[in-house]
Chains A and B, each alone.
Chain A
Amino acid sequence: MGTNLDLFQLVGQEKIDMSRFPVENIRNFSIIAHVDHGKSTLADRLLELTGTIDKTKNNKQVLDKLQVERERGITVKAQTASLFYNCEGKQYLLNLIDTPGHVDFSYEVSRSLSACQGVLLVVDANEGIQAQTVANFFLAFEAQLSVIPVINKIDLKNADPERVEKQIEKAFDIPSDECIKISAKLGTNVESVLQAVIERIPPPKAHCKNPLRALVFDSTFDQYRGVIANIALFDGVVSKGDKIVSAHTQKIYEVNEVGALNPNEQPTHKLYAGQVGYLIAGMKDVTEAQIGDTLYLHKQPVEPLPGFKSAKPMVFAGMYPIDQSEYNNLKSAIEKLTLNDSSVTVYRDTSLALGAGWRLGFLGLLHMEVFNQRLEQEYNASVILTTPTVPYKAVLSSAKLIKEYREKEITIINPAQFPDKSKVTEYLEPVVLGTIITPDEYTAKIMMLCQARRGVQKNMMYIDQNRVMLKYLFPLNEIVVDFYDSLKSLSSGYASFDYEDAGYQTAELVKMDILLNGNIVEELVTVVHKDKAHSVGKVICERLKDSLPRQLFEIAIQAAIGSKIIARETVKAYRKNVLAKCYGGDITRKMKLLRRQAEGKKKLRKVGNIEVPKDAFIKVLKTQPDK
């Protein structure tokens, strides 16, 4: 038992012979946890303990490579590392497949998990089970993985591991004696985690004799080497020079390099069934190595692994440069970012008010936020991000439209495309199943919030004496803007929230127009639920009123559904704006000001004869967390 430094050093110098690890000596596992419960710290300790990384170096969260990941304590991009571990005279290959730490990436999580046979479910000894713990547990449970509960941070003053054990027993039906209590920070009891991995997680069911069948569970883009696909081999062997085929694209590639991840790429001669590693095969674009895809040998086709889906954006938002002169810089920044993240969909879009930009589709809210942060931090690009919308659907009744769209059910991304009610059998909106875990003193307030967001309660249970788990079915649209912030503020930060995709439901949707003196403002057309039209319309009208400068005539701001006005505000006409004192001394300053204003006026968007500054649009369209 102990680390195998010899082997590790060997790894650094020449190619490892991966055939030394028969399937029965391999364990593929993941760590799943709620934000900040210590997943990455535990991963660091495991890497140190197995000699994969040097203890003396500053190994703070080695697996989290992105700046935003470290800052926010979340993992966006999954990382993978192979650990070599010597236990009772046997050489084990433990593949730690890290998963993205948020439900926005639940598809990626599910694909990563499908490469595993077990998970470490890390729970903070102080905070106990949180919403994301639940969501993650069920993902693992559904994938029929062995779950090893790990109670972390037992060194904290307020740690109460016994309470957490009971929660785990209650919520997940796992006997409390199966919990391993550790402090990843101090390294306490971490070794027993490794032993549990070997003892409780079964080796993969894989066969080297079968033809190659490899799952792509992640991919990254390297400027020099192209796409690096992270793969898990279910069957067969792959080595340099092999011709492989993507089951999804049917494209053929020649393998240039295979190897293990430690966590950096470490070339090997071959990878064998049951193992996890990477492969480089001349793919130019991450879309060629989509997560969930199956790779097989040319002319030896296999049944693709189940569960493949193309990335499905659930939240859309317009993105525009603050200044149009920044368009090209922003364009190249977005291109670079999407090279590494194929789940962002990009459509070019033009707004009369905001200029040329894009409509971007994201997996979820956090995904959007992370993308935006990366643009700002890594590419120094500041952007206008419009209020996110969700993809609605319409079931068409008009034969003409069905012919035009070539399908009966259409997805509406842009409100401008919203088909009229007369041509539609029903509208559908995306819904999610939300999990909220909260101290019970906040339950009443939270239930009111959920109701106001059109949530339907599905379940409610106490996971211990004073913690409640609530399950609600929410229209996605109701939680995309400020639900999380509201929840946090009314529970003093104690409630946690997570959600999973729950398909679509029928919804009474309407298209709401915003009018300025009777002229429709195209960029403010909104699709909204009938019950929410009045309040949403009112907010938009009020924001416009606050941001529209007075003009030489009165402006009526109206929200309308069809011909019915549902909200109205008025901006009064200017009555006096002439500078009072203007003699010899004031002219230069006055002229400068007037010239600048006149210059600015040229850039204003005109709706009818009303001049609308860009700022007004930004104030209405921009994400505003505190309504």
Chain B
Amino acid sequence: MTLPRVRACGWVAAAKAAQRRHQAEGAGGPRCPAPRSQRASLYIHWPYCEKRCGYCNFNKYIPRGVEEAAVRSCLVTEAQTLLLLSGVRRVESVFFGGGTPSLASPHTVAAVLEAVAQAAYLPADAEVTLEANPTSSAGSRLAAFGTVGVNRLSIGLQSLDDAELQLLGRTHSASDALRTLAEARHLFPGRVSVDLMLGLPAQQVGPWLGQLQELLCHCDDHVSLYQLSLERGTALFAQVQQGALPAPDPELAAEMYQKGRVVLREAGFRQYEVSNFARNGALSTHNWNYWQCGQYLGVGPGAHGRFLPQGAGGHTREARIQTLEPDNWMKEVKLFGHGTRKRVPLGELELLEEVLVMGLRTDLGITHQHWQQFEPQLTLWDVFGTSKEVKELLEQGLLLLDHRGLRCSWEGLAVLDSLLLTLLPQLQEAWQQRISTLVPRG
């Protein structure tokens, strides 16, 4: 079978056209009929930042100078290698994350996209997202990213309060953020997302809701609300630990979250995932793929992937992690064509656990059809229908199990991690029973 291959520059042109007439097909809807094992999303990690943010413990580096050509060539090489290894024919979305990928040159983004389009089918309307920070993304640069094929922006706005931005160690101001947002909307209408944080030390509910209201006056069709989690090893963690800052109050954060959800719902947003809100169908298809446990390839230092290495003759989906440190990663890519540091085959039960954990984060939850794709024999009813403890959760109105499938209620979504502590053991138990009934039959 040969798949249509669009020449790189042609792909960009087609993508631009598609972007203009883009209509989101609605998450969870019917997908391309190509077999699942030949489809994947692609995550590209740009590991560099201008400055260390006080809350971030991601895999990022503050370099003195980046040899961008070398990094570019390695990203391209690794993307090509992994596409080959995976046997993936169709790349459904690309996401440039980091780090601060908007610090990379548009040329690098173009090179990667071209390589992808050469190695696999990259549909013209495939979602190509770039994470951008307000300061580092002057209008002309954003336009340049659009020219090379980026069709969606995720802006790390975080706060509209200058004092909070300073606390977080961000380099931009609230007005920078709003200006960048306006430019982005102009360049990528309907395709801009903003992040807003909640639950910061000393943050109060009223003022935070004020920020959210202000943001609603300026934002596009996608908002992510993230509760700050204090991570060990960050400056913020140390400050709280030393008592220089008050510890974030989980009660207040919970209140902000609940009230924020209501405000966004009233503004016409669909909460399609724990932290993600979209209107006019502007869901992120790339992220949706994660929550649906679709395949994805991770390219770049420390990037994670989950795919079946079909091209290499594999039969089991693997969890893969690329080498963390950029210089080492580059050495390995130059030597072996990829910097995969760790490959762990996922067992059937493990995969089902991920389907459960990730799927319940979405508003659709896990539909019976979706579940069946991963586990044809045990239905959701088989697994969860008879458990007394699950029944208690259903009765408490935290969980729903019906003809559509299994999903969290509005209240349940906020406490999903507690629900999972009941659901996971239940799944494990049902799985064990299935195994033990299968054995005697042979």
Contact = CB atoms under 8 A, between A and B. Distances in A.
Is chain B found bound to chain A in the same assembly?
A: yes
Interface stretch (B114-122, B169-177, B411-419): B411-419
Interface stretch (B155-163, B331-339, B354-362): B354-362
A594 B420 CA distance: 8
Contacts of B258: 575-576
Nearest to A549: B418
B392 interface: yes
A590 B396 contact: no
Contacts of B417: 577-579, 594
Interface in A598-616: 598, 601-602, 609
A538 to B, nearest CB: 24
Contacts of B361: 578, 582
Nearest to B353: A591
Contact of B226 (A580, A591, A601, A602): A580
Interface string B242-259: 000000001101110110
A75 B414 CA distance: 60
Nearest to A584: B290
A576 B257 contact: yes
A576 B414 contact: yes
A552 B425 contact: no
A593 to B, nearest CB: 9
B298 A587 contact: no
B358 A576 contact: no
B32 to A, nearest CB: 20
Contacts of A578: 274, 361, 413-417
Interface centre among A553, A577, A585 (most CB of B within 10 A): A585
A553 B418 CA distance: 11
Contacts of A580: 225-229, 274-275
Contacts of A588: 304, 319, 321, 344
B226 A583 contact: no
A595 interface: yes
B424 interface: yes
A585 B47 CA distance: 14
Interface string B395-416: 0101000000000000001111
A579 B273 CA distance: 11
B304 A574 contact: no
Given A552-B415, A576-B227, A598 B253 contact: no
A572 B254 CA distance: 12
B327 to A, nearest CB: 20
A609 B391 CA distance: 13
A349 B229 CA distance: 43
B287 interface: yes
Interface residues on B, range: 35 or more
A588 B298 CA distance: 14
Given A581-B226, A584-B43, A594-B417, A552 B396 contact: yes
A584 B296 contact: yes
A582 B227 CA distance: 12
Main DSSP-derived SS at the B contact region: helix
B303 interface: yes
A602 B416 CA distance: 18
Contacts of A552: 393, 396, 398, 415, 418-419
A459 interface: no
Contacts of B321: 588
Contact of A601 (B353, B354, B421): B421
A345 interface: no
Nearest to A611: B421
Contacts of B25: none
A368 B398 CA distance: 49
Contact of B425 (A551, A582, A601, A609): A601
A597 interface: yes
B325 interface: no
Contacts of A591: 350, 353-354, 357
A611 to B, nearest CB: 9
A553 B396 contact: yes
Interface string A37-74: 00000000000000000000000000000000000000
A582 B414 contact: no
Contacts of A598: 420-421, 424-425, 428
Contact of B287 (A575, A576, A583, A609): A583
Contacts of B270: none
A601 B290 CA distance: 27
Contacts of B413: 578
A572 B255 CA distance: 14
Contacts of B302: 585
A47 B174 CA distance: 86
Interface string A557-590: 0000000000000001011111111111101101
A595 B424 contact: yes
B112 to A, nearest CB: 17
A587 B304 contact: yes
A601 B419 CA distance: 12
B355 to A, nearest CB: 11
Interface string B366-394: 00000000000000000000000000110
A576 to B, nearest CB: 4
Interface centre among B306, B414, B417, B428 (most CB of A within 10 A): B417
Contact of B421 (A582, A590, A594): A594
B415 A574 contact: yes
Contacts of B398: 552
B362 to A, nearest CB: 11
A130 B344 CA distance: 69
Contacts of A553: 396
B38 to A, nearest CB: 19
Interface in B310-363: 319, 321, 344, 350, 353-354, 357-358, 361
Interface centre among A553, A574, A582 (most CB of B within 10 A): A582
A17 B55 CA distance: 85
A597 B422 CA distance: 10
Given A575-B415, A576-B227, A584 B304 contact: yes
Interface centre among B250, B287, B302, B421 (most CB of A within 10 A): B421
A581 B396 CA distance: 26
Interface string B48-68: 000000000000000000000
Contacts of B275: 580-581
B354 to A, nearest CB: 6
Interface centre among A552, A584, A585 (most CB of B within 10 A): A584
Interface in B96-138: none
Contacts of B420: 594, 598
Contacts of B253: 576
| 6 closest Cβ pairs, A-B complex | A575-B254, A576-B254, A578-B416, A580-B227, A585-B304, A576-B414
27 contacts: A551-B418, A552-B396, A572-B251, A574-B418, A575-B255, A575-B415, A576-B414, A577-B417, A578-B361, A578-B413, A578-B415, A579-B274, A579-B417, A580-B226, A584-B43, A585-B298, A585-B302, A585-B304, A587-B290, A587-B319, A591-B354, A591-B357, A594-B421, A594-B424, A595-B424, A598-B421, A601-B421
Given A584-B290, A584-B298, 14 more contacts: A574-B418, A575-B251, A577-B416, A578-B416, A579-B417, A583-B287, A584-B305, A585-B298, A587-B354, A588-B344, A591-B350, A594-B420, A594-B424, A598-B421
